[in-house]
Amino acid sequence: MKNLAFDKIKCKSGFWRFYKDLNRNDIVKNVYNRFKETGRFEALKCNWREGDANKPHIFWDSDVVKWIEGVAYILEEAPCAELETLVDEMIDDIAENQSKDGYFNSYYLAIDPSKRFTDRGCHELYCLGHMIEAAVAYSKATGKDKLLDVTLKYIDLVYRVFKEEQSAAFITPGHEEIELALLKLYEYRGNKKHLELARFFIDMRGNNSVEKPENCIQTNKPVRALSEAVGHSVRACYLYTAMAMLAKADKDEELKEACQRLFSDITKKKMSITGGIGTDHDGEQFSYAYDIPNMDTYNETCAAISLTMFAGAMQELEVNSNYGDIIERVLYNGFISGVSLDGAKFFYANPLEIDRKKYERSTYQVDCQRVAVFFCSCCPPNVTRMLASIMRYAYSTDDNKIYCNQFASSEARFIINGKAATLTQTTDYPSNGKITFAYSGEPTTLFVRIPGWCVEYKGKTENGYASFQVSDGATITVDLPMEIHFIEANPYVQDNSGRYAVQRGPLVYCMEEIDNGENLRDVTLIENSDVRIASESGIPAPIIYIEAERRLPSTELYRIKDSERNKFTARLIPYFSFANRTPSDMIVWTMVK
Amino acid sequence: MKNLAFDKIKCKSGFWRFYKDLNRNDIVKNVYNRFKETGRFEALKCNWREGDANKPHIFWDSDVVKWIEGVAYILEEAPCAELETLVDEMIDDIAENQSKDGYFNSYYLAIDPSKRFTDRGCHELYCLGHMIEAAVAYSKATGKDKLLDVTLKYIDLVYRVFKEEQSAAFITPGHEEIELALLKLYEYRGNKKHLELARFFIDMRGNNSVEKPENCIQTNKPVRALSEAVGHSVRACYLYTAMAMLAKADKDEELKEACQRLFSDITKKKMSITGGIGTDHDGEQFSYAYDIPNMDTYNETCAAISLTMFAGAMQELEVNSNYGDIIERVLYNGFISGVSLDGAKFFYANPLEIDRKKYERSTYQVDCQRVAVFFCSCCPPNVTRMLASIMRYAYSTDDNKIYCNQFASSEARFIINGKAATLTQTTDYPSNGKITFAYSGEPTTLFVRIPGWCVEYKGKTENGYASFQVSDGATITVDLPMEIHFIEANPYVQDNSGRYAVQRGPLVYCMEEIDNGENLRDVTLIENSDVRIASESGIPAPIIYIEAERRLPSTELYRIKDSERNKFTARLIPYFSFANRTPSDMIVWTMVK
């Protein structure tokens, strides 16, 4: 299986077109402005001196190059001279300040070049990883290889210092990322050296006598022995993504099985219903199995992205609709909740419940509203690059067969039996589940993912896909009944016992105080009542109105069980759209009767 | 109204006799041994020097004298030469090391006498307060006034320094306690100076230009303007108790009304169903209204005691069974949960839910099991002195009328119309609600509190009391139907929405994992099922068996609402008896259908 590159797919309208336009018109510029204000671009000049404003930070290079990567994907869809000029200037700065031996890191070059490669926790290889991704993306999008050349030279240095000489103070990076980046580069350029270096970092992890075993950075075991996702969730999924890519490149069954175990552990035991992972604020980590709190969960936006990447890589290893299901769950919920509907503000943590009074007393600084900029601002440029390339998850191909994994009105170009083919998808997804495919090209089989949520679909499926023989001019319509489902969590998820989430299609819903009054935990939805699905302006997905009730106010603190309730019509909005108005309490897991 | 002194009441058998025996035979000795090991008694010699073991602490004197107070109450019930000798030795040490001007504090005398009365947070007046209570108790119990004389001399110093000269670095104590102690002393000795000093500390609190307003220590407002209980809950209720005592002594209606507002705020908005208060770990404080968590609640044992004291003082201000109701709720639940059934171990915090896995990752160090000794060991001696004098809450009198506020098989002595009278109470309370009174003496009216929980009682009540005319030889039986009630919390208690507590009579029940299996939050009790009430050895109150169900195990993390359940018989034990076996999860608020 091979995911179809996003540049082969033109997203034409609908949900993701809304966000892709928002990205191009607003998000990418907002991120640029915040980064410029905070000195992140200026830092590339490597001339900061004590006493200057905006002291560079060890991870700033990664912020900048992730933004460049996002711009590259935007340019690949349609040119933009203004953005391209900005990027070229940044690349000039990087190239100009690259050390003779290939090293580049704006923090170390400005602050203390003698300290390079001495502190595993200082993100140098992480920054290089992101630079590789940006360089590949920019080369593909513009044909300009200046950043790629800088990067290749830096990789040669890293290859020598880490793999050949082993002369750095550490063996594998403290924050994984370079592994998957090297594998992407290998796919792009085919240089075995890059595959070797990726394999080296993956194989040595948790598997050498220099570095001590640490759960938080996944050095607890050699990678092939891993069964449980532990530690910092973004680092973990970046590593697991690379493991899956390497398993494919090397046809490494043992590594593939480790990836399957890890994917299962995450998605069957450690994932919010929104696809959020890394529930533990402390260290942004995976918690123990089934510890999936709502109010105190972390669920970093970057972690949602990293899980999507992991699932995307798994999708290339195995025909199983579960990977597309998880990608869909993450993208429509816990990923896209990370950005405001106006593209100006971002969530780092994505809670499933907000009680502002509790938050005021919380140990953790939880934001009830998205903010324009963070000190640690990994998420905003990650949102940009994900949105600009999100169509990469739509299709995959295998031996001239087409797999449709995600739904969006779009036009995709394939090579089937050596000849150009196109597949047009027309849908209002996720407003409803009707998807029409129009095909032109050589005869093939079209496999369409039947989402796990669609228990009402009655057709035959194999590995979760319905299959259709298509030939030139064929039109296929798949109609996925999109009922409202009340979802329960595994009994071991203590926080959700007696509570249910409302899901319709891929969208998880929530209630906000601003619509439903205070005291949201006391609301009970009435299961068999009139339900209204409504399209409303400002939110690119339907609103649900459903009958509900809550207890009457009382002056007693404790009283004998009483059933008096007030009825009202609850307004449920898609989870991703919460916190886009005035600050408000919010809840996903509610009572149902 | 005047509460009948506990020495007029002999507790003969039943629930409180069990605990009073445990106190005399075990608790008081266990506390002594732990205090001795940690150097608390040795510290009274005031000769600790740098390099010695067991450096004294600012609050150690209070621990010691609270223990002495408890011993005094024990001696008042029956002599014990061994305990009396130990106390006499301690008192000798205190007297010997008292400064010429009357000052005594083992910490400052040993560490730095020049620093006395310079730091409001250092508990000197708090320690003196407890010393006053101990001195009064020991004088009453043994007729020995040595400690009382030391204390009176120290009070004279405090009166001069704080009230007359105002030469200390602060005006009112950082930890209230001395106010109520001075009022007790005033009741015992009748010296107006002690009343004046108590009134001074109360009136000046939050009402002077030297000390800044602080919620945490109740200096936010002048006491008569208080409406909301804030800050450290033990300090708060010690202050409120003193305010109620002063309101009575001074017939101060404004102060009485402030007390009524505070009592209402606590018991209608800030109290666990177990009577626990001070739910916020951070600063051991009251939280905002209706923030009554279960897992993370604090509910210090001392706070339960302080609320009992406040209610006891309010009971003398006003004929209202609500005070007896609250005392009963606290004593049978959140107070007595503070000590293990073998009298060897203590809870500082009394949670209403234990999830050991969550606790392992908790920000707060919560004990899932009682421990033998704490660094801050205020609770164990507070338990001792409360148990030894607990009968003080049983009766009150007013104008030759008798009010029975609490139930226990006992013999009480009154003076009715100037003549001795006795009232014998025979009951298995709280195993059942049948209470028989046998009276001998001049004709009077006996008022019996009809507990708020007893909604099934059909007789006439006034201010919550049923009244009976009794004359010599009269026998009255009150039978309080003791049904199992499922209790709901106010809708604003977010943590308990959709959950219910089981209460029978005054006892709140809980489930432990050891009896009911893991995953307690997923248990649903079946309301109209067979229930069995059983007496079992080792626990001085009944066990409840009730039908229940829980969801079947599932390998799915999320699935469509499903109703398949496994039935089982749940074993509910009285809340106070939790954590007396192997470490176990526990829950009070459960689902009911």
What whole-number distance in Å separates Cα of residue B202 and Cα of residue B248?
Answer: 14
pLDDT of A201 above 70:
yes
> What value, to the nearest 5°, has the Cα angle with vertex A508 and ends A505 and A513?
140
Read off the pLDDT of each residue in A313-325 and give the average, rounded to a whole number. Answer: 97
pLDDT digits (tens, 9 = 90+) for A454-471: 999 999 999 999 999 999
Which region among A205-214, A364-373, B581-590 has the lowest average model confidence (pLDDT)?
A364-373
Return the beta strands (E) in B4-134 as ranges.
9-13
- Least CA distance to A291: which residue of chain B? B358
pLDDT digits (tens, 9 = 90+) for A211-226: 899 999 999 999 999 9
Q: Does B363 touch chain A (CB under 8 A)?
A: yes
Helical (H) or strand (E) element with A477: strand A475-479
Q: Does A282 touch chain B (CB under 8 A)?
A: yes
Q: How many residues does chain A have?
A: 593
pLDDT digits (tens, 9 = 90+) for A464-510: 999 999 999 999 999 999 999 999 999 999 999 999 999 999 999 99
Burial class (CB in 10 A: 0-12, 13-18, 19+), B78: exposed
Q: In the A/B pair of chains, how many CB contacts fall below 8 A?
A: 131
Which region among A58-67, A240-249, A360-369 has the lowest average model confidence (pLDDT)?
A360-369
pLDDT of A397 above 90:
yes
Q: Does B488 touch chain A (CB under 8 A)?
A: yes
Residue among A497, A553, A557 minimizing CB distance to B521: A497
Query: Do the Cβ atoms of A167 and A161 come closer than 8 Å?
Result: yes
What whole-number distance in Å separates Cα of residue B287 and Cα of residue B293?
Answer: 10
Q: How far is CA A444 from CA A325, A334, B457, B463, B505, in A?
A: 24, 35, 80, 86, 74
- Least CA distance to A359: which residue of chain B? B291
Q: Which two structure tokens, joined as six digits, stand for B193?
A: 């100076």
pLDDT of residue A375: 74
- Least CA distance to B267: which residue of chain A? A557
Q: Which two structure tokens, joined as six digits, stand for A214?
A: 């640490």
Helical (H) or strand (E) element with A31: helix A28-37
Beta-sheet pairing, A475-479 with B401-404: unpaired
Contacts of A297 in chain B (CB under 8 A): none
HSE on the CB side for B351, CA within 13 Å? 22
* Residuewise pLDDT in 10s, chain B (593 residues): 899 999 999 999 999 999 999 999 999 999 999 999 999 999 999 999 999 999 999 999 999 999 999 999 999 999 999 999 999 999 999 999 999 999 999 999 999 999 999 999 999 999 999 999 999 999 999 999 999 999 999 999 999 999 999 999 999 999 999 999 999 999 999 999 999 999 999 999 999 999 899 999 999 999 999 999 999 999 999 999 999 999 999 999 999 999 999 999 999 999 999 999 999 988 899 999 999 999 989 999 999 999 999 999 999 999 999 999 999 999 999 999 999 999 999 999 999 999 999 888 776 667 789 998 777 889 999 999 999 999 999 999 999 999 999 999 999 999 999 999 999 999 999 999 999 999 999 999 999 999 999 999 999 999 999 999 999 999 999 999 999 999 999 999 999 999 999 999 999 999 999 999 999 999 999 999 999 999 999 999 999 999 999 999 999 999 999 889 999 999 999 999 999 999 999 999 999 99
Query: Do the Cβ atoms of A562 and B492 come closer than 8 Å?
Result: no
Q: Does B500 touch chain A (CB under 8 A)?
A: yes
Count of Cβ atoms closer than 10 Å to residue B432 Cβ: 16
pLDDT digits (tens, 9 = 90+) for A522-580: 999 999 999 999 999 999 999 999 999 999 999 999 999 988 999 999 999 999 999 99
pLDDT of residue A364: 66
Residue with tokens 């032109």: A440
Q: CA dihedral in degrees (A461, A465, A471, A472; nearest 10)?
A: 140
Which region among A315-329, A368-382, B440-454 has the lowest average model confidence (pLDDT)?
A368-382
pLDDT of residue A365: 63
In chain B, residues 53-72 whose CB comes closer than 8 Å to chain A: none
In chain B, residues 371-400 whose CB comes closer than 8 Å to chain A: none
ipTM of the complex: 0.96
pLDDT of residue B375: 75
Beta carbons within 8 Å of B189's beta carbon, 6+ residues apart: none
Please answer yes or no on whether A268 and B455 come within 8 Å at the CB atom.
Answer: no
pLDDT of residue A368: 87
pLDDT of residue A373: 75
Read off the pLDDT of each residue in A160-169 and give the average, rounded to a whole number. Answer: 97
Q: What is the 3-state secondary structure (H, E, C) of A200-213?
A: HHHHHCCCCCCCCC
Beta carbons within 8 Å of B365's beta carbon, 6+ residues apart: none
Select from B252, B258, B264, B186 the least CA-distant residue to B224. B258
What whole-number distance in Å separates Cα of residue A378 and Cα of residue A233?
Answer: 14
Q: Which two structure tokens, joined as six digits, stand for A101?
A: 């031996």
- Least CA distance to B553: which residue of chain A? A491
Residue among B268, B491, B522 minimizing CB distance to A491: B522
The DSSP output letter for A101 is T
- Buried residues in B500-523 as b, exposed as e (16+ CB within 10 A): bbbbbbbbbbbbbbbbbbbbbbbb
Phi first, then psi, for residue A515 (nearest 5°) are: -95, -30
Burial class (CB in 10 A: 0-12, 13-18, 19+), B160: middle
Distance from CA of B339 to the nearest CA of A (A): 25
pLDDT of A377 above 90:
no
Query: Do the Cβ atoms of A292 and A272 come closer than 8 Å?
Result: yes
Contacts of A551 in chain B (CB under 8 A): 488, 491
Q: Does B243 touch chain A (CB under 8 A)?
A: no
- Buried residues in B244-265 as b, exposed as e (16+ CB within 10 A): bbbbbeeebeebbebbbebbeb
pTM here is 0.95
Q: Does B491 touch chain A (CB under 8 A)?
A: yes
pLDDT of residue B77: 94
What whole-number distance in Å separates Cα of residue B220 and Cα of residue B372?
Answer: 36
Contacts of A283 in chain B (CB under 8 A): none
pLDDT of residue B283: 87
Please answer yes or no on whether A494 and B519 come within 8 Å at the CB atom.
Answer: yes
pLDDT of residue B364: 66
pLDDT of residue A376: 80
Q: Does A559 touch chain B (CB under 8 A)?
A: yes
Q: How far is CA A215 from CA A239, A316, B239, in A?
A: 13, 28, 49
Q: Does A291 touch chain B (CB under 8 A)?
A: yes
pLDDT of residue B362: 74
Contacts of A501 in chain B (CB under 8 A): 558
Q: Does A486 touch chain B (CB under 8 A)?
A: yes
Please answer yes or no on whether A485 and B560 come within 8 Å at the CB atom.
Answer: yes
**3-state class (DSSP) for residue A390:** helix
Number of helices and strands in chain B (H, E): 16, 21
Residue with tokens 């148990």: B387
> What value, to the nearest 5°, has the Cα angle with vertex B12 and ends B10 and B16?
95
Mutate one of A291, A482, A494 to test the B interface: name it (highest B CB count within 10 A). Answer: A494
- Buried residues in A211-220 as b, exposed as e (16+ CB within 10 A): beeebbbbbb
Read off the pLDDT of each residue in A232-252 and give the average, rounded to a whole number. Answer: 98
